[in-house]
Copies of this chain bind each other. A is one copy, B any other.
Amino acid sequence: MEFSDRQLAILNAIIHDYIETAIPVGSRTIARKYMPDISSATIRNEMSDLEHMGMLVQPHTSAGRIPSQLAYRLYVNKIIKEHDFEGIVDNHIANDFERLKGEMLQVVKNAARLISMNTNYTAIALTPQLRRTTLKRIQLIPVTKGLMLMVIVTDAARVKQKMLHIPTNVSESLMDELSFIISKRFAGQAIADIDLNLLDGISDVKQNNPVFFDTINNYLNEVILHSDSSDVVLEGVKCIFDYPEYRDITHAKRFFNLLDSKELLQKILTDSTRRGTNVIIGGEDNYEELIDFSVVTTCYKVGPRPIGAIGVIGPVRMDYPKVISVLEQTGKALSNVMTSYINE
């Protein structure tokens, strides 16, 4: 599909105006505000053409027009291609993270809060994914007769704790011993590569206490395979009320249903962890639930390795340039903090 320069300029003006005002924009508005040297009639003709090309939509006859999903896509692709994200990372953002160093969950939550405050949309984030990190250390701690706590420390200083049932009696010293052996054998390796069976020949726990061994082994395998929907973080949920498209309660309700079942967000964020910056406009890519919403995501890394993702969810009429830039900045700041641990 080919557009003349003027058509592109008009399309751009319409998108800008609609993102700003949420009111369908008419030919006279464009003529007055954006291109005073051509008449509204001309613009009218161009708009008619643009509508036939599928770039504009008319809510009803004799209303202005609004950009179609396709138009947003075109717009976003151009932004992503042209925008230079290599700029300096906002120090304000970076400093804020430094302060929280060590509490990875808190750092990610704070990143989400910052994103929400800076963009005025609802921020979403995926906490560092264990299976994408490398092991620092494992520690088993007895809690009661039938319970022990397993603490997994990873290179991104992300800590995961899990309470495990132990049907048999296990001495504290055995836990300490196993903690030490596992940590020593697998430290520095990817969590995904941990296989307790490799301990054969190093330790005889598996033979002497198979139930205990299996409990730990099973949980580790679980951690390796699955990410948890509780890994999804939300911030600034109430922002949605600032946008007139959700003034109607039924729309607001749909939004909260989306956020409530975190599976979808988890999937999108997990995808983005692999793929980097990604924009889903109004239910593209078979995300039917997302009709009337747009989601922008990007990943953050430890060194060269992506381990989690951050993003924004809001109306299709979203300030994409700003959102993309805030996300990229925050992603970099986050990555810096996470990476700094590796070198310690």
Contacts and interface: CB of A to CB of B under 8 A. Distances in A.
B149 A141 contact: no
Interface in A144-197: 144-147, 149, 151, 153, 157, 159, 161-165
A137 interface: yes
Given A241-B253, A241-B256, A102 B153 contact: no
Contacts of A145: 344
Interface in A235-279: 237-238, 241, 247, 249, 252-253, 256-257, 260
Contacts of A164: 102
A82 B256 CA distance: 38
A193 B101 CA distance: 29
A136 interface: yes
Contacts of A247: 249
Contacts of A143: 102, 136-137, 153, 157, 159
Nearest to A155: B144
Interface in A198-253: 237-238, 241, 247, 249, 252-253
Contact of A344 (B141, B144, B149): B144
Contacts of A159: 143, 149, 161, 163
Interface in A8-25: none
A247 B136 CA distance: 51
Contact of A141 (B103, B139, B146, B237): B139
Nearest to A238: B256
Contacts of A253: 238, 241
A293 interface: no
A176 B144 CA distance: 19
Interface in A97-139: 101-103, 136-137, 139
A144 B241 contact: no
Contacts of A241: 249, 252-253, 256
Interface of A: 101-103, 136-137, 139, 141-147, 149, 151, 153, 157, 159, 161-165, 237-238, 241, 247, 249, 252-253, 256-257, 260, 341, 344
13 contacts: A101-B147, A102-B143, A102-B147, A136-B143, A137-B141, A141-B153, A146-B344, A149-B151, A238-B253, A238-B256, A241-B256, A247-B249, A249-B249
